[in-house]
Amino acid sequence: MTRRLFVFGLLALILTAVESAFLGAMGLTEVGLSLALGVLLLVATRATDIEGAAVAALVGYGWDVFSGAPMGLSVGPAVGVFVLARMLSQAVEVKGGLEIAILGFVGAFLHGLACLGLLFISGSMGELLFWPALRGLMSHSLAAAVVVVPVFAFTRWLDRLLGEDRNESEAWLS
Amino acid sequence: MLSILRRYRELLVVMALIALPILLFLAGKTEPGERGTVDRAVLTVFSPIQKGVFWVVDGAQDIWFNYVYLVGLKEENIELRRESMRLMGEVGQWEEVSRENERLRRLLGFKDRIDKDAVAAPVIALGTRPALSRSIRLGKGSRDGIAPKDPVLTPEGVVGRVVAVGSGWADVMLIVDPNSAVPTVTSRARTRATVRGTGKIGAAVLEHASRTDDLEEGDLLVTSGTGGIFPKGLPLGHVTSLERRPYGMFQRATVVPVVDLSRLEEVIVLTRGADEEEGLTRGVLR
């Protein structure tokens, strides 16, 4: 659709692939980093609605395809997190590292919670397993809050490089 | 109508992107870990990146633990430190080679004991959502003979089963994944039960063991050979925290896997043979 959508979608997939290999090489079995969350938050603050939602859907797709989770699980919640982050960023100024980290924590937690809820509703996860998974989600969200800041900064830098494409995409949408 | 659609186009697209995947997921009948053509293509495209990152990070760790880390430990005597560092570096490298050699020899020995075709494969990546699923990615795939549903083992016991395959990679659902269920028997009393994953890397739970079944803490659970995935007699885990309540039909217990699933480096994949194509249970241990 636009160059930015392609670049950020590709970036999200690359980050998730890299994360998967990094965790494997380090033997980090208990944490996920959700590197691509930084991309999702950036498009929530910068991109147009359709463009951002499409990138968010790609982020969710990447999480599914590289995690071994059932396909389709993460896409809807990822777009949901995009919508929440977008509404929040329009209400308050999201600029500094701390705000991004908090947004990252909340985003990762809500996304994971929505996925757990979907697994629970679909019967893929029994009641016994819900609470341990919820505890795991806390550590996952904390890790995501730490790594989301540099990823967000990198994506913002990339967004500036692609700045000239903004007019093109906005023209397409209007 | 068209003007309304045009007016709320952005909202409709965003809502569709939220609702459609959720509806498809809830209505979907796909097996956990199952991947379509597009998904497999994406994974195949990104597989070299994953192998590259794994190689770089793993190599950096080797350099750190065999060289850089040792430098920091020896500050008292420069000459001694240099000499010691050189020797320790060599020893460290030899130890690593020795450990790798030992692991590979055990894998080879294990392969010889299996009456089936087997492929040794490196673990190149982990699932990125440990709170939701437990999987690993192997650096070998269909061109090495690996196919979906192939059992994955180490010399210690069962690791999981292959759920998706590309030409140079394979995704493995670990036995501790919440969607994993393996039919087992105890090696002592031959009591049948199912081991289901909990999502925790070091624990699964025992299901369908009735209250009257002969179960004891410490019992070794081995694969029963039913279910058509795993050969009979492979060690899977030990029974712990056995709970026999005064009510209910079943006993509850935690199962600790015999394989340390958090430290997998190489695994064995039992590939399909002629008997598998006929729908029979795979080969047994000699």
Query: B178 with A124: CB under 8 angstroms?
Result: yes
Q: CA of A27 to nearest chain B CA: how many angstroms apart?
A: 6
Please check whether residue A148 lies inside any domain of the structure.
yes
User: Which letter does DSSP use for residue B279 in this model?
Assistant: T
Categorize the per-residue pLDDT at B273 as very low, low, confident or very high, splitting at 50, 70 and 90.
Answer: low
- Position with higher pLDDT, A111 vs B3: A111
Q: What is the ipTM of this complex?
A: 0.81
Domain count, chain A: 1
Are B30 and A68 an interchain contact pair (Cβ–Cβ within 8 Å)? Answer: no
Please check whether residue B207 lies inside any domain of the structure.
no
Q: CA of B286 to nearest chain A CA: how many angstroms apart?
A: 32
Instruction: Say how far apart CA A153 and CA A105 lie, in whole Å.
Output: 16
Number of alpha carbons in the 13 Å side-chain half-sphere of residue A22:
12
Q: Please give the backbone phi and psi of residue B249, each rounded to the nearest 5 degrees, phi first.
A: -85, -25
Q: Which residues of B touch A23 (CB under 8 A)?
A: 125-126, 128
Radius of gyration of chain A from its Cα atoms, rounded to whole angstroms: 16
Q: Which residues of A touch B51 (CB under 8 A)?
A: 21
Q: Which residues of A touch B166 (CB under 8 A)?
A: none
What pLDDT, on a 0 to 100 scale, did the predictor assign at position A49?
Answer: 81
**Choice among A28-37, B187-196, B253-262, B269-278 with the minimum mean pLDDT:** B269-278
Closest Cβ opposite residue B35 in set A33, A71, A124: A71
The overall average pLDDT reported for chain B is: 80
A13 and chain B in contact, CB less than 8 A: yes
pLDDT in tens, B106-138: 767 666 656 567 888 999 888 877 777 888 999
Please check whether residue B79 lies inside any domain of the structure.
yes
* Rounded to 5°, angle at Cα B279 from B144 and B235: 70
Please check whether residue B48 lies inside any domain of the structure.
yes
Using a pLDDT cut of 70, give the percent of chain B over it: 80
Please check whether residue A174 lies inside any domain of the structure.
no
Q: Please report which helix (H) or strand (E) contains residue B5, including its range.
A: helix B2-7
Please check whether residue B87 lies inside any domain of the structure.
yes
Contacts (Cβ under 8 Å, ≥6 apart) of A26: B57, B61
Contacts (Cβ under 8 Å, ≥6 apart) of A25: B53, B54, B57, B58, B61
Please check whether residue B101 lies inside any domain of the structure.
yes
Q: CA of B79 to nearest chain A CA: how many angstroms apart?
A: 33
> In terms of DSSP H, where are the helices of B64-174?
69-73, 78-113
- Position with higher pLDDT, B213 vs A110: A110
Q: CA of B128 to nearest chain A CA: how many angstroms apart?
A: 5
Write the secondary structure of chain A as one string of H (helix), E (strand) and C (coil). CCHHHHHHHHHHHHHHHHHHHHHHHHCCCCCCCCCCHHHHHHHHHHCCHHHHHHHHHHHHHHHHHHHCCCCCCCHHHHHHHHHHHHHHHHHCCCCCHHHHHHHHHHHHHHHHHHHHHHHHHHCCCCHHHHHHHHHHHHHHHHHHHHHHHHHHHHHHHHHHHCCHHHHHHHHHHC
Please check whether residue A156 lies inside any domain of the structure.
yes
Instruction: Say how far apart CA A26 and CA A90 lie, in whole Å.
Output: 38
pLDDT in tens, A77-90: 999 999 999 988 88
The range of the structural domain enclosing residue A31 comes to 3-169
Are B130 and A112 an interchain contact pair (Cβ–Cβ within 8 Å)? Answer: no
Q: Which residues of B touch A126 (CB under 8 A)?
A: 178
The range of the structural domain enclosing residue B43 comes to 37-113
Instruction: Say how far apart CA A79 and CA A85 lie, in whole Å.
Output: 10
Q: CA of B125 to nearest chain A CA: how many angstroms apart?
A: 4
What pLDDT, on a 0 to 100 scale, did the predictor assign at position B77?
Answer: 62
Residues of chain A with pLDDT under 70: 1, 124-130, 164-174
Domain count, chain B: 1
Closest Cβ opposite residue A79 in set B14, B126, B263: B14
Are B129 and A63 an interchain contact pair (Cβ–Cβ within 8 Å)? Answer: yes
Please check whether residue A85 lies inside any domain of the structure.
yes
Q: Which amino acid is at A152?
A: F
pLDDT in tens, B65-88: 776 666 656 556 667 766 765 676
User: Which letter does DSSP use for residue B285 in this model?
Assistant: B
Extract the runs of DSSP E, i.e. beta strands, from chain B: 118-126, 135-138, 151-154, 157-165, 170-174, 181-186, 192-197, 204-210, 220-223, 235-243, 250-257, 266-270
Please check whether residue B153 lies inside any domain of the structure.
no
Please check whether residue B96 lies inside any domain of the structure.
yes
CATH (domain of A57): 1.10.1760
Q: Which residues of B touch A71 (CB under 8 A)?
A: 25, 28, 30, 34-36, 39
Please check whether residue B86 lies inside any domain of the structure.
yes
pLDDT in tens, B37-62: 888 888 888 888 888 888 888 888 87
Say yes or no to pLDDT of B199 above 70. yes
In chain B, the residue whose alpha carbon lies closest to the alpha carbon of A135 is B131
A49 and chain B in contact, CB less than 8 A: yes
